[in-house]
Structure 1
Amino acid sequence: MSGQPTVAATLRRRNRAARWQAVAWAGLAAAGLGAPWVVSLYQLQLAQQAVVLGLLALSIGWLLRQTGQLSFGHAAFYGIAGYATSYVAQEADLPIGLTLAAGVACGTVAAFVVGLVTIRVPGIAFAMLTLAIGMLVWVAGGQLHSITRGSDGLNVQLKGTLLGKDVVMYGNPVDAWPLVWGVLMTVVAALWALSRTMWGRRLASIRDNAERMRFSGYATYWPRVLAFTVSGAVAGVAGTLNLVTTSFISLSALFWSTSGIALIVAVIGGVRSVLGPPLGAVLFVVLQSYLAGSGNHYQAVIGLVLIVVVLVAPGGCVELLERGFEAARSRLPSRSRKEPDPSPVPVPPPGGRRAAAR
């Protein structure tokens, strides 16, 4: 039918939307670098915490978005990367860049091993299995007191030059902000690009109907293992970045509540977009800071916010923003809407062209 859009038109529309998204992301990345000049030092420190929490939430949210699998064990990769970075920094005389890369690599390898074991388990059993493995890692961290210092925590003295600055200077939020913001925007862009690849679309198809994909001749095991590994690598980046900015790590980084908070943040922000979990982290940190003097009341407020978001907008704050954008666009005059042509459409006479010629 002539009124239906063609495949080529649909592809052009999608590519045009992707280009606008890329332009918007580049503008956001550039604007975010100016935060130290427009916010206070305390607000910048809160933003730095939100970036680290947003990265951890993004690792869980992206896995849930692409594969439909919910993990409660990503705190293990977050903590393993942090502890591995501190151990390499103390025991090996390596450049700081290699030290940080070794920490992220340890978290990634741990995610790969866990993915090999757990990825075949469906549904809620997968979430419980990742929770059990994460708690085993937490218990092991408590037993390795000589490395982790147990519940007392570990102060880490990183040495070297990172991006032209002494790594110790990244303890200052003003100096650390370009680094943490750049890492967040790079990870967001990378996950967004991966989601649009053939592998990312295949993951979405496996999420929707894994049995049909197997019957079609596509493997479903290794793509999901790779997706779990990528999400674990993002959690490892968050753990290493947290160590660079705070020079401290404790067993709480391995505890299941760290994964639980990151999951809550991802749900509040919305897992449909890669910008949803970082947005949820900002809201969480702001609420936590604003209600800091009310004891544990902030937990009740966060729970109430979570309930409202799930009931009103299952897609999180991103869905609310999309609704507002669509409502605003519907009130504007649409240039793309064409007026119907008042001239009548000529109808050929009976008998075709020959009858018209006679």
Structure 2
Amino acid sequence: MSSRIVFAAAHVVAKDEHSVDWDATLEFRHHLWSHGLGVAEAMDTAQRGMGLDWPTAAELVRRSAAEKTGRICAGVATDHLTGEPGLDDVLNAYLEQLDIVQEAGAQPVLMCSRQLAAAARGPEDYEKVYGTLLDRVSEPVILHWLGTAFDPKLEGYWGAGEIPQATRNFLEIIHSRPDKIDGVKVSLLDADHEIGLRRALPDGVRCYTGDDFNYPDLIAGDEQGHSHALLGIFDPIAPVAARALAELAKGDTDEFHRIMAPTVPLSRHLFSAPTYYYKTGVVFLAWLAGHQERFQLLGGLESARSVEHLAEAKRLAEIAGVIEPEFAERRWSQWLASR
């Protein structure tokens, strides 16, 4: 389909506030695979740390990996820890999740850890944890740098409060073991920073954009390279993104941008501050598109965005061509009447 490797970070379909509708959740993964996209499983789009606990996330990874018909990667974190764990506790928690993801047959994504951010005292602690993890992986992994817009508890990650120094620390870890790293996913919503970072990566280490504001330009790239993608916005726009990527694979960059352009205002709206509530809009559009029977999120997170925000999301999704207007209008009207 494309010269780019592309993952859609997939949401989970909730049966109710406390449980997952497994059949609908897996059916949605097959929808993504059918469009040639990879599935990024159990990531923040699936409400990791915001409703999806680790035992359920582990089950999700196992089920999805068992049914995979395309690429799948999956989040490895430390979100099952409680209290105020120390550095060794954080490392052991990462290793526990890493083993489960590897055994399931998914490519690991080493996600940022709130517990590591709290326990680490400097860049040497990040080197210790990530170095040990990279020494243990059975295949190259994806490193994930999630910015504070997505999770304020990750302030100071990589052992520095300032992004330039954090980037230098991050690159030191990458350059120490490039053969263990397939790529890095960067979600700082800063296109210039991502371009600079990808130019500084060792040969063979990919940059997967996680920039839901500037993804078309970053994926299209420039004369010095391009980004691949691991994006939450590709969950609701999968069919449109697939068409655009097919044009890019044929070398038609202009047509790629023409198809992608209407999705950008939608994405910027869904990911507007507070950015971490973007999951509400993603699930709302899945419901308007007919991929699930209820507009419901784990933990009742469907109430995190206002009616006005959701109405604008619907309008922009229609312009972008990711929902069928008449069907979506019927569901919207029924939902408004039931409030």
TM-score (norm 2): 0.30
Greater RCO between the two (CA within 8 Å, min separation 6)? 1
Larger gyration radius, structure 1 or structure 2: 1
Instruction: Say which structure is richer in helix.
Output: 1
- More strand by percentage: 2
